[in-house]
Amino acid sequence: MLVAVLAGDGIGPEIMVEARRVLDVLAIPDLTFEEAPVGGAAYKAAGHPLPPATLDLAKRADAILFGAVGDPDCDALERHLRPEQAILGLRKELTLFSNLRPAKVFGELADASTLRKDVAEAIDILIVRELNGDVYFGEKGMRTTTAGLREGYDIMSYDEAEVHRIAHSGFQAAQARRSKLCSVDKANVLETSQLWRDVVIEVSKEYPDVELSHMYVDNAAMQLVKNPGQFDVIVTGNLFGDILSDLASMCVGSIGLLASASLDANNKGLYEPIHGSAPDIAGQGKANPLAMILSVAMMLRFSLGLSAEADRIEAAVAKALSSGARSGDIGGSLSTRAMGDAVLAALA
Ligand code: IPM
Ligand code: MG
């Protein structure tokens, strides 16, 4: 089995080193790794954020480990050359349409949340975010209005097949958990959302065991802060899922703890922490590697069929945290390496 290792920009390479050390300790037979540049690093090395050789490796691999992309040096480039286009391109080219973003409080860390402890403790949510459509991939551009004003535009749309497949992901994820699915949209204003809601209701007929509810995205943002314990699985579109998953991560305590899987119809996947490249702390050994390490666990479970190893990693992270290991983002001062060491010690 081949794993593509795309560390990317900013803190990506530092946290990837720790993830690789965890994999080394597990010593899984027949697992091979191949690295390639992506994002701003690839632009600087090869003139494109997603060079053909990197895309080819991603296509050949059984799974992809992805660090982060984003580099302030590249912010003035034309949009198609910016680092972010690499992750968007991989999601689209590999049809990774189903993005699973679990948000759960590690018991001891409820204090790191900005929410009250009793509210934070109840969080155990899975956000299922659609990744291949919506305003992210619609027609976009700059134009001049008849009045001579500059106008930016991005078209939001979903066709029913796109909603259909992500709805199935949401219902199936709910079946594997507490059988509650909340579909988040903005059907009171957007036609895209009206279709979304109609299709989710149609698909729900195939899942009579799942309790379906609907919520407008503005209310969902409020409810995530007010009473996050009410949610089991949330299914939502690309843009709303982007925003709500950052919100959920902070309710949990730190964005440095949240892993994600982006899956195609056959469970081939790309695994990445949901935080970005954090250029402000890059290269300082301060980044929390736990989201990257937890992404490895998701990869082993979903794409490589190694759930026992995935369980071991998750247990080791929980143990490291309960033994008091804390990086800066969760109220401590341990370095990236020391956090990695704590997980390795817990694994041993
Ligand atoms: C995420 C990120 C990306 C997104 C960026 C880097 C393009 O914020 O994965 O949530 O908007 O999807
Ligand atoms: Mg985001």
Report residue 132's pLDDT band, with 50, 70 and 90 as the boundaries: very high
User: What distances in angstroms separate CA 132 from CA 61, 137, 241, 302, 304, one per listed residue?
Assistant: 20, 7, 12, 19, 23
The string of pLDDT tens digits covering residues 67-102 is: 999 999 999 999 999 999 999 999 999 999 999 999
SS3 content of the chain, % helix, strand, coil (to 5): 45, 20, 35
Q: Is 87 in the pocket of ligand 1 (CB under 6 A)?
A: yes
pLDDT at residue 107 tops 80: no
pLDDT at 273 over 90: yes
Is-same-fold flag (1-96+264-348; 98-260)? yes
Model pLDDT, residue 230: 97
- Choose the residue to mutate in 69, 82, 84, 295 for probing ligand 1, maximizing ligand atoms within 8 Å of C-beta: 84
Give me the residue spans of the domains in the chain.
1-96+264-348, 98-260
Which residues does residue 273 pair with via DSSP β-bridges, in sequence order? 259
pLDDT tens sequence across 276-333: 999 999 999 999 999 999 999 999 999 999 999 999 999 999 999 999 999 998 889 9
The burial of 78, by beta-carbon neighbours within 10 Å (0-12 exposed, 13-18 middle, 19 or more buried), is given as exposed
Q: Which atom of ligand 1 is nearest to the CA of 242?
A: 10
Helices (H) and strands (E) in the chain, counts: 12, 12
Closest by CA position to 288, among listed 261, 313, 256: 256
The CATH architecture annotation of domain 1-96+264-348 reads 3-Layer(aba) Sandwich (3.40)
pLDDT of residue 17: 98
Provide the residues around ligand 2 (an ion) whose CB is within 5 A.
242
State the Cα–Cα distance between residues 297 and 316, nearest whole angstrom. Answer: 11
In the reported structure, the alpha carbon of residue 29 is separated from the centroid of ligand 2 by a whole-number distance in angstroms of: 34
289: DSSP letter: -
Contact by Cβ (8 Å): 105, 231 = no
CATH topology of domain 98-260: Isopropylmalate Dehydrogenase (3.40.718)
The answer, yes or no, to whether any atom of ligand 1 lies below 6 A from the CB of 242, is yes
- What pLDDT score was predicted for residue 105? 86
